[in-house]
Structure 1
Amino acid sequence: MSSRASSTPSSSSPAARLPVELLCYVFLEYRDFESVRALDRQKREDIPIWVPGVLHVCRAWRSAALSCASLWTELNFINPEWTSKFLQLSRELPLDVYADFSPPPYRMRRPGSSSSTTSANKAMAHLQRIRQLAIRANDKIDVHRILMEYAEKPALLLETLVLDCTMYSMSMVEDFATELFAGQTPALRVLRVRNASFQPKMTSNILHGLTHLEMTGAFSWRWFGKTRDMLDMLETSPRLESLKLEYSIPSNKPSPNQVPTTPLDPSYTIAMPSLRKLDIHDYYDGVCRLIGHLTLPPSHSMHLTLTFENHVDPAGRARVASLASQIHMDPEYAVQSLWVDVRSSRISFAGGHSSEPSGRGCSENVLKLTMDCPSRTWNVDELFTSTVQALPIDGTRSLDVHLRQPMEQYVWQTLFRSVPFVTNAQISGMETTHEFLQALGANPALEQGPEGQISNALDASPHNLVHLERVSLMGIAVDEEWCELLVEAILARRRLGGSKLRRLHIETAADKRIRCATEFERLEDAVSLVTSSFANGPRMDMEISVPLSGDIWDW
């Protein structure tokens, strides 16, 4: 009886009354949800997990699913029989294919050919229908062989091509043919290469229309001395909007198996007029060598991560400064974020010409900074100083700093000198902000560095950030010394004259609250006394808030 109920639902049940169109929509959403989960597991399934949940409920659902051709267009499993069924049920609609040619683990191997390879070959036979294609193999030689097998077949609908190797190797492979897929890929816009050798002819059809190029670990011995080839490849893609390179920049060392190449002229540059997003993660020398030959337009996003081959690099400050100076940017370009993480020997900065709304209803450039390592270790202060001084961030109006580690006072003062027109500053994080307050009230002419007074720190302004009007301290740790420093900083700015600071907002961290309300009351009284006793500055409004907890204080 239960079997009959499951196969023939009552006409009064909600499932029986759902329109076929709505059922198909629900099935598609369910398929997409399970497909994302399957990608997260990074494991190819024998049969898609959503199939039993759609076909084995009732006859009405099964009939609706089998009639929905768009439901069967995603082939990301390794069962050959089901691959044939999907190809039939999808009729002639465009396909999204994950062709896995890598053999399964030894304990899962079956007699004869690999089921995943058989399934992949069946799907690849319908190349003319494939819209998104991911080819996965164990070795880049296999990727090269697979592409050559289909070099004479057109891929008119192909929009996305992914070449993925499961294991990195230094195997030697020949250049790809001048034309892949019979030279007919008019819709190809996205190319991703992961651990696979990628050395196309510069006139290859797969390069001309690209808008997105991603290469991860895509270099080999043949890439030695091939910087010019990579530049030619990028120049062949004038529509490129997004470029991501991760350990894929050719080495500048000569190849032991090739005739030495002519050194590239340092002044040679290529224009990338459509580039809107640049993400490079590589060794310092490679990043500098490539960036120095690119002319970048006003980008929406830029992210560089430098990995130093030596953990301690005494010349790091000069090298970072030279990198920043080699970036050919439009004058309107502005950097929005800077990331320093010396624990992993990396320095990153990101940017673009964009604006964020301010509290006054207008827009202003925002610099977002994350300090992810103690500034007193590994000379990060010198690297940080060189970076912020070389980057075009002087037009910043709003400063947003997240402290994962404390910053020394002279590092703060270096940042303040680089962004002199800031009107709004927000400092967040549970690390100490004592040094920020010390720098806020310091006289730029008397700045002290790690080795004494900074001789070139003279400034015509009486104090740092003369245009600063609003300060927000969010999620910070507060103690008695911090309160004293705050009052001293405000007092120093008033004494030096010209202070425009008019609003101060303080929000303490949930687990580092002031122990009693009277401490905040004394602090508020002190701030009020300081601001009211000087005629050369506006009265400052102070707001204090504490995250909700067992103790609720009413101010």
Structure 2
Amino acid sequence: SGIDVATPNDAPSDKARCLIDQELQRLEDTIRALRSHRNVLAPISQLPPEMLSKIFAYRVAECADSTNPLEWIRVTHVSRHWRAVALDCPSLWGNLIFTRPRWSKEMLKRSKMASLFVKADLSCFTPRIFDAVRLALLHASRIQNLQLRAGSANIERLLTSGPSFQIPMIRSLSLSVPRSLRFGADEDFTLPDTVLTEETPYLRRLELHRVIINWDSQLLKGLTHLTIHDVTTSARPTTDQLMNALERMPAIEVLDIQDALPQPPDGPSSPDRIVNLPQLALLSVTSTVPECVNLVSCITIPASARIHLSCSGTETTGGDFSGVMRVISNPRGATYRQEKDGPPERKVIRVLHIQHEVPISLVVQGWTDALATDEAVPRVNAPDIQLHFSWHYPSQTTVESITASVCKAIPIARLRSLRMAYVDGFSTKMWMSTFGLLHKLHSMHVAGQSAHALVAALHEEIQIETSTSPSATPEGMKGIRRPGLCRKRSAVYFPQLKSLTMEDVSFVDGDTSATTTLSDLQNCLVERSERKAEIQELRLQECSHLLEEDVKALRNFVPSVDWDEIVQGFSEDEESEYGFNDMGGYLFGGYDVYSEDLDLGLDLDFSIF
């Protein structure tokens, strides 16, 4: 019945069960010992503990930025040996996890005297998380990497809880105040004079977001990476203060300044001194045009450095970016003077993307490496040159003129791939003068109305005068035209163009400057084929007024035509004329064969449905 009833034989039975349990335990211990001994004989168990710890460290690094940064702890569950090795390696436990406060305290204990990595986002937190971060900061002498993101009041509470917060072993420091918190906007954080005042000889990376710092601080010394974003105008440095700081960073590799540059002097002026930054690999600046020009006129930029500039025009400059262009066109900054041995080798842009972001913004991106196969594949690596220009007076600025001046400033003589998107005012003459003579240009991608001007430029001929017999020209007559000595021959613009992509192009019939007719495109393809400059690949993406029979006709002139089969842009009358309707019905002579009102008088011996 499921109910235990006491019997006189219970005592012997209990004794027997106890003996059996003891024997089972002995057997389990024996099996466990045998398994442990078997694991010892495995090849991986022959690794020294130092090497095994190194492997565990790689696993810790892999999990650091994942959704579960503690996943690596599973290695301690594999065997007693692995667990002992992990517990005996304090450096594995130095990357504290504050999302689980109980674990962060345990990891702090297991790290013993190892270096600490403290990364805490307190934009949204609980009191237990805040206490765990505060406990970790009490071990400031062991912290090598500190990243705090919190409201200004909470950062101040953490850094000023003791008499003087110092981190002498720090290598990387990041302090960030979010633009907005849960309960509204927050003010900038001012680093107190009593905090981080001692020497930090190992500090190489400093990132400050909405943090006001004394520009004479010892933190601004010996850095290789400096990021300063969003500093109020009143707290920005003077030009002399910024130059003093940069002089204390001769090995700077990354300089990222966003809305933190000093106000330039009124009127034209020459810099009092030039700061040489020979190791600079990336210059990233977001500012107004005058602020940007003022900075780059005071520093030298190596030819190998990547340049990312985001400049906005002011009421004074409007859409004039000539000062920035001079900086870009100069391979070593505004102060470079050409040496007798010739100009230095510059980065050569092989892939160029230009996009007009309506109404008052232009983005230019350039890469020095060309894709080995399909140039139409989107780029994923950071560009070597990135320019973002914006202005406030569109009536006074033409995007096509800015585009042309940018292309003259950057080195595109060996350009291989070009993408031009929605620079609709780019004329035929601009196409020819800017890109038409580039003998390495292999592929082009054009989006928007400027495709019409490009097709016209592909038609144009270059007239070249050649001498029929240069050796027969007398010495005194060289350079003088004489009948019979010169003849004209024609060549095409874009001589090496093999791949053309047209996106969001309207193929409306008619003589308009904003559209490209199919006959224009066909004539262009035929003429280039006859001139031995055939386009071998044609891609059509999201184009309007384009039908399947039109694409079939294009295949007669281009070996490879790739069409996305999107049919769009037709009016209702055009849809009826060309033989299709919104419901997918087939049309004959403008009549829907599925319509009940249609009676063609045909004797069909099959059912339509």
Q: TM-score range by the shorter chain?
A: 0.5 to 0.7
In the TM superposition, residue 273 of structure 1 has moved relative to its aligned partner by 1.8
Q: Is the 8 A contact 1:242 1:277 kept in 2?
A: yes
The one-letter amino acid paired with 1:95 is L
1:379-410 deviation line (CA, Å, top 9, x unaligned):
32233233334x143x5222422344364441
Counting only pairs closer than 5 Å after superposition, residues 290-309 of structure 1 correspond to structure 2 as 290-308=295-313
Residue number in structure 1 paired with 2:291: 286
Which has the higher mean CA deviation after the structures are superposed, 275-284 or 26-35? Answer: 26-35
1:492-541: CA deviation from partner (whole Å, max 9, x where unpaired):
7799xxx6x53422243477697557854x5465x5xxxxxxxxxxxxxx
Pair 1:438 & 2:453 matched: no
Q: CA deviation at 1:91?
A: 3.6
Is 1:266 the equivalent of 2:267?
A: no
1:502 equivalent in structure 2: 533
Deviation, 1:60, is: 7.0
User: Which amino acid letter does the alignment assign opposite residue 71 of structure 1?
Assistant: L
| Match in the other structure for 2:176 | 164
Are 1:191 and 2:193 counterparts?
no
1:94 aligned residue: 115
Distance across 1 between alignment mates of 2:321 and 2:92: 51
SS of residue in 2 equivalent to 1:414: helix
Contact 1:144 1:176 in 2 (8 A): no
Residue equivalent to 2:574: none
Q: Which residue in the other structure is 1:125 paired with?
A: 138
SS of corresponding position for 1:74: coil
**Matches of 1:296 and 1:427 in 2, distance apart?**
31
Pairing of 1:239-254 with structure 2 (within 5 A): 239-251=251-263
* TM-score, length-scaled by structure 1: 0.66
**Distance verdict in 2 for CA 1:248–1:84, change over 3 Å:** same
Q: 1:81 to 1:441 in 2, by over 3 A?
A: same
**Aligned counterparts of 1:144 and 1:285: Cα–Cα separation in 2:** 38
What is the CA distance between 1:345 and its match in structure 2? Answer: 4.1
In the TM superposition, 1:146-545 aligns within 5 A as 146=159, 153=166, 155-156=168-169, 158-167=170-179, 173=190, 176=193, 180=196, 182-183=198-199, 185-201=200-216, 204-219=217-232, 221-223=234-236, 226-251=238-263, 265-268=269-272, 269-308=274-313, 316-317=318-319, 319-326=320-327, 328-330=330-332, 331=343, 332-334=345-347, 336=349, 337=352, 339-343=354-358, 345-349=360-364, 354=368, 356=370, 379-389=398-408, 391-393=409-411, 395-405=412-422, 407-410=424-427, 413-419=429-435, 420-428=437-445, 431=448, 433-442=451-460, 466=493, 468-474=495-501, 476=503, 483-489=518-524, 502-509=533-540, 516=548, 519-520=551-552, 522-523=553-554, 525=556, 527=557, 542-545=558-561
Aligned residues: 465
1:76 to 1:151, Cα distance in 2 relative to 1, 3 A = same
* Aligned equivalents of 2:60, 2:284: Cα separation in 1: 32
Is the alpha carbon distance of 1:230 and 1:397 closer, same or farther for their aligned partners in structure 2, counting shifts above 3 Å?
same
Is the contact made by 2:177 and 2:188 (CA closer than 8 Å) also made in structure 1? no
2:96 aligned residue: 75
Q: Kindly state the Cα deviation for residue 239 of structure 1 after the two structures are TM-superposed.
A: 0.8
- 1:207 match: secondary structure: coil
5 Å-filtered alignment, 1:130-149, equals 130-139=143-152, 142=155, 146=159
C-alpha spacing 1:281/1:323, structure 2 compared with 1 (3 Å): same
User: For residues 334-359 of structure 1, what are the alpha-carbon distances to aligned partners after superposition, in whole Å with 9 as ceiling and x for unaligned?
Assistant: 4734644443744444558x454879
Mapped partners of 1:388, 1:510: distance in 2: 26
Paired letter, 2:560: I
Equivalent residues of 2:188, 2:210 under 8 A apart: no
Residue 424 of structure 1 aligns to a residue in which SS?
coil
Contact 1:508 1:547 survives alignment (8 Å) = yes
The Cα of 1:438 is off from its aligned counterpart by 1.5
Q: Is the 8 A contact 2:232 2:260 kept in 1?
A: yes
SS at match of 1:123: helix
Measure the CA separation in 2 of the matches of 1:343 and 1:511: 19
1:36 aligns with 2:49: no
Name 1:546's counterpart in structure 2.
Answer: 562
CA–CA distance in structure 2, aligned partners of residues 137 and 326 of structure 1: 37
- C-alpha contact 1:413 1:464 (8 A) present in aligned 2: no
CA distance in 2, matches of 1:372, 1:103: 32
Q: 1:195 to 1:462 in 2, by over 3 A?
A: farther
Which residue identity does 2:533 align to in structure 1? Answer: R
Structure 1 unaligned blocks of 5 or more: 39-44, 109-113, 253-260, 360-365, 446-460, 528-541, 550-555
SS of equivalent to 1:186:
coil
| CA offsets 1:95-140 (integer angstroms, 9 cap, x no match) | 222155x4755xx4xxxxx433432233233333333221333118
Tell me if structure 2 keeps the 8 A contact 1:238–1:274: yes
The 8 Å contact of residues 415 and 440 in structure 2, kept in 1 or not, is answered as: yes
Deviations 1:296-353 (A, max 9, x none): 120341111123467xx9x644x2123212455335434734644443744444558x
User: Matches of 2:360 and 2:550 in 1, distance apart?
Assistant: 45
1:452 aligned residue: none
C-alpha distance 243-199 of structure 1, shift in aligned 2 (>3 A) = same
Contact 2:363 2:387 survives alignment (8 Å): no
SS at match of 2:66: helix
Q: CA RMSD in A?
A: 5.0
Q: Contact 2:554 / 2:561 at 8 angstroms: preserved in 1?
A: no
Name the residue aligned to 1:457.
none
3-state SS in 2 of match to 1:88: helix
Calculate percent identity across the aligned residue pairs. 18
Cα–Cα, structure 1 residues 18 and 288, in superposed 2: closer, same or farther, change >3 Å?
same
Deviation string 1:267-290 (CA, Å, 9 cap, x unpaired) is 333322221211112233322332
Quote how far apart the aligned CAs of 1:77 are. Answer: 1.2
Describe the SS at the equivalent of 1:116.
helix
What does the per-residue CA deviation read over 1:420-453, in whole Å, with 9 as the maximum and x for residues that have no partner?
Answer: 33332312366563432222224689xxxxxxxx
Check conservation: 1:340, 1:372, Cα contact below 8 A: no
Question: 1:162: Cα distance to partner?
Answer: 1.0
- The answer (yes or no) to whether the contact 2:96–2:107 under 8 Å persists in 1 is yes
The residue matched to 2:211 in structure 1 has which SS? coil
> Cα distance, 1:29 vs. partner?
5.6
Deviation (angstroms), 1:84? 3.4
CA contact (8 A) 1:437 1:486 kept: yes
Partner Cα separation in structure 2 for residue 205 and residue 371 of structure 1: 33
Max radius of gyration: which structure? 2
Quote the residue 1:50 is aligned against.
71
> 2: distance between equivalents of 1:249 and 1:372?
17
Deviation at 1:234, TM superposition (A): 2.0
Between 276-285 and 479-488, the greater mean CA deviation after superposition: 479-488
Query: How many Å apart are 1:70 and its aligned residue?
Result: 3.7
Q: TM-score, normalised by structure 2?
A: 0.61
